[in-house]
Chains A and B, each alone.
Chain A
Amino acid sequence: MSRKAFLPGCALPSYNPQAVEATIRHLKNIYPDLSVVQKCCGKPTIAVGQAEKFAERFAGLVEDIKYCEADEVIVACQSCMKTLKGCEDYKTTSLWELLPLIGLPKELVGKARDSDVVFSVHDSCSVRDYTGIHNGIRWTLAALGYKFVDPPGRARDMARCCGFGGMIVPVSPDIAQRVMRRRVDDFPTSKSVVYCAACRSSFMTVGADSWHILDLLFGDVVYENTPPPANVLASPLKAWGNRHKSKRLINTVMK
Chain B
Amino acid sequence: MVFSQTTLENAKAIAENCQGSHRAFCASRCPMHCDVIGYVNLIGEGKTTDAIKKIREALFLPGTLGRICAHPCETVCRRETEFNQPIAIAALKRYAADMADDESLWDISKKPQTGKKIAVIGAGPAGAQAAIDLAKEGHDVAIYEKLDVVGGMMRVGIPEYRLPRNLIDREYTYLTKLGIAINLGVEIGKDMPFNELANNHDAVIVANGAHQGFVPPIKGAETGGITNAADFLKSVSLGDKNLKVGKNVLVVGGGDVAMDCARTALRLGAESVNLVSLERMEELPASKHEQTGSLDEGVVFNLGWGGEEIFSENGSVSGIKLKECTSVFDAEGKFSPSFSENTQEISCDMLIFATGQRVQDVTGGALAQGGGSRYDADKDTLATSVDKVFVAGDCAGATIVVEAMALGRKAAVSVNRFLAGMDLKEDRDLDNEYSCETALDIPLPEDLQDLPRKHTRELDPKARIGSFEECDLGFDDETALQESQRCIKCECKQCMTECIMFNEFTQFPGMMFEAFLKDGKIEPLAVYSCNMCDQCTIVCPEDFKFAALFGDLRKDMVIANNGESPMAGHKAINMHQKLGFSKMFTTRKKGGK
Q: How far is the CB of A249 from chain B (nearest CB, A)?
A: 10
Contact A68 B591 (CB under 8 A): yes
A34-77 with Cβ < 8 A to chain B: 34-40, 42, 44-53, 57, 60, 64, 67-69
> Inside 8 A of B579's CB, which chain A residues have their CB?
240
Contact A175 B581 (CB under 8 A): no
Contact of A170 with B by CB under 8 A: yes
Contact B570 A168 (CB under 8 A): no
Stretch among A91-99, A107-115, A155-163, A217-225 lining the B interface: A155-163
The 0/1 profile, CB within 8 Å of B marked 1, for residues 8-45 of chain A is 00100000000000000000100111111111101011
Which residue of B is nearest A51, CB measured?
Answer: B555
Q: How far is the CB of B568 from chain A (nearest CB, A)?
A: 8
B531 contact from A5, A157, A168, Cβ within 8 A: A168
Contact A171 B587 (CB under 8 A): no
A126 vs B535: C-alpha distance when bound (angstroms): 10
Contact of A179 with B by CB under 8 A: yes
A206 vs B551: C-alpha distance when bound (angstroms): 27
Q: How far is the CB of B558 from chain A (nearest CB, A)?
A: 4
> Inside 8 A of B538's CB, which chain A residues have their CB?
128, 157-158
Contact B588 A60 (CB under 8 A): no
Stretch among B216-224, B421-429, B522-530 lining the A interface: B522-530
Contact of B295 with A by CB under 8 A: no
A64 vs B583: C-alpha distance when bound (angstroms): 12
> Inside 8 A of A145's CB, which chain B residues have their CB?
none
Q: How far is the CB of B266 from chain A (nearest CB, A)?
A: 56
Contact of A85 with B by CB under 8 A: no
Contact of B533 with A by CB under 8 A: yes
Contact B528 A168 (CB under 8 A): yes
A127 vs B510: C-alpha distance when bound (angstroms): 27
The 0/1 profile, CB within 8 Å of A marked 1, for residues 556-569 of chain B is 11100001110101
Contact B577 A57 (CB under 8 A): yes
Contact B584 A244 (CB under 8 A): yes
B563 contact from A39, A52, A60, A243, Cβ within 8 A: A52
Q: How far is the CB of B23 from chain A (nearest CB, A)?
A: 29
Residue from B564, B584, B591 with most neighbouring chain A CB atoms (10 Å): B591
Contact A48 B570 (CB under 8 A): yes
> Inside 8 A of A33's CB, which chain B residues have their CB?
591-592
> Inside 8 A of B374's CB, which chain A residues have their CB?
none
A28 vs B577: C-alpha distance when bound (angstroms): 29
Q: Given that A10-B580, A158-B538 are known contacts, is A170 also in contact with B588, CB under 8 Å in the complex? A: no
Contact of A100 with B by CB under 8 A: no
B525 contact from A35, A172, A243, Cβ within 8 A: A172
Q: Given that A47-B532, A161-B533, A168-B531 are known contacts, is A175 also in contact with B500, CB under 8 Å in the complex? A: yes
A161 contact from B535, B564, B591, Cβ within 8 A: B535
A163 contact from B498, B531, B592, Cβ within 8 A: B531
Which residue of A is nearest B527, CB measured?
Answer: A49
Contact of B534 with A by CB under 8 A: yes
> Inside 8 A of A168's CB, which chain B residues have their CB?
501, 528-531
Contact of A147 with B by CB under 8 A: no
A49 vs B573: C-alpha distance when bound (angstroms): 12
Q: Given that A44-B576, A170-B573 are known contacts, is A179 also in contact with B531, CB under 8 Å in the complex? A: yes
> Inside 8 A of A170's CB, which chain B residues have their CB?
567, 569-570, 572-573
Contact B585 A240 (CB under 8 A): yes
Contact of B518 with A by CB under 8 A: no
Chain B, interface residues (CB within 8 Å), range: 35 or more
Contact of A251 with B by CB under 8 A: yes
Contact A36 B588 (CB under 8 A): yes
Contact of B586 with A by CB under 8 A: yes
Which residue of B is nearest A165, CB measured?
Answer: B531
Contact A36 B589 (CB under 8 A): yes
Q: How far is the CB of B145 from chain A (nearest CB, A)?
A: 58
Contact A247 B563 (CB under 8 A): no
Chain A, interface residues (CB within 8 Å), range: 35 or more
Q: How far is the CB of A114 from chain B (nearest CB, A)?
A: 36
Contact A172 B501 (CB under 8 A): yes
Contact A160 B533 (CB under 8 A): yes
A251 vs B554: C-alpha distance when bound (angstroms): 37
Contact A171 B555 (CB under 8 A): no
Contact A125 B587 (CB under 8 A): no
Contact A51 B558 (CB under 8 A): yes
> Inside 8 A of A240's CB, which chain B residues have their CB?
579, 585
Q: Given that A49-B551, A166-B530 are known contacts, is A39 also in contact with B565, CB under 8 Å in the complex? A: no
A52 vs B565: C-alpha distance when bound (angstroms): 12
Contact of A143 with B by CB under 8 A: no
Q: Given that A52-B563, A170-B569 are known contacts, is A67 also in contact with B590, CB under 8 Å in the complex? A: yes
A46 vs B501: C-alpha distance when bound (angstroms): 20
Contact of A80 with B by CB under 8 A: no
Contact of A238 with B by CB under 8 A: no
> Inside 8 A of B590's CB, which chain A residues have their CB?
35, 67-69
Residue from A3, A33, A165, A182 with most neighbouring chain B CB atoms (10 Å): A165
> Inside 8 A of A48's CB, which chain B residues have their CB?
528, 554, 558, 565, 567, 570, 573
B467-495 with Cβ < 8 A to chain A: none
Which residue of B is nearest A56, CB measured?
Answer: B581
Q: How far is the CB of B19 from chain A (nearest CB, A)?
A: 21
Contact of A232 with B by CB under 8 A: no
A165 contact from B533, B563, B585, B586, Cβ within 8 A: B533
B270-312 with Cβ < 8 A to chain A: none
Q: How far is the CB of B41 from chain A (nearest CB, A)?
A: 23
Contact B580 A39 (CB under 8 A): yes
Q: How far is the CB of A2 from chain B (nearest CB, A)?
A: 12
Q: How far is the CB of B323 from chain A (nearest CB, A)?
A: 62
Contact A161 B581 (CB under 8 A): no
> Inside 8 A of B570's CB, which chain A residues have their CB?
48, 167, 170-171
A125 vs B538: C-alpha distance when bound (angstroms): 11
A206-243 with Cβ < 8 A to chain B: 240, 243
Contact A171 B525 (CB under 8 A): yes
A125 contact from B535, B554, B569, B585, Cβ within 8 A: B535
Contact B591 A32 (CB under 8 A): yes
Q: Given that A53-B563, A172-B501 are known contacts, is A35 also in contact with B535, CB under 8 Å in the complex? A: no
Contact B592 A32 (CB under 8 A): yes
> Inside 8 A of B528's CB, which chain A residues have their CB?
48, 166-168, 171-172
Contact of A87 with B by CB under 8 A: no
Contact of A102 with B by CB under 8 A: no
Which residue of B is nearest A57, CB measured?
Answer: B581
Which residue of B is nearest A65, CB measured?
Answer: B588
B577 contact from A45, A67, A176, A179, Cβ within 8 A: A45
Q: Knowing that A3-B592, A160-B535 are A-B contacts, what are 7 other residue pairs whose CB atoms are under 8 Å apart, sorted by A's residue number?
A: A38-B585, A49-B553, A49-B557, A64-B588, A170-B567, A172-B501, A247-B585
Which 5 pairs from chain A and chain B are nearest by CB?
A: A49-B554, A170-B569, A161-B533, A33-B592, A40-B580
Chain A contact residues, CB within 8 Å of chain B: 3-5, 10, 28, 31-40, 42, 44-53, 57, 60, 64, 67-69, 125-126, 128, 157-158, 160-161, 163-168, 170-172, 175-176, 178-179, 182, 240, 243-244, 247, 250-251, 254
Chain B contact residues, CB within 8 Å of chain A: 498, 500-501, 504, 525, 528-535, 538, 547, 550-551, 553-558, 563-565, 567, 569-570, 572-573, 576-577, 579-581, 584-592
A-B contact pairs, 13 of them (CB 8 A): A38-B586, A40-B580, A48-B573, A60-B581, A67-B590, A128-B534, A165-B532, A167-B528, A168-B530, A168-B531, A175-B529, A178-B500, A179-B531
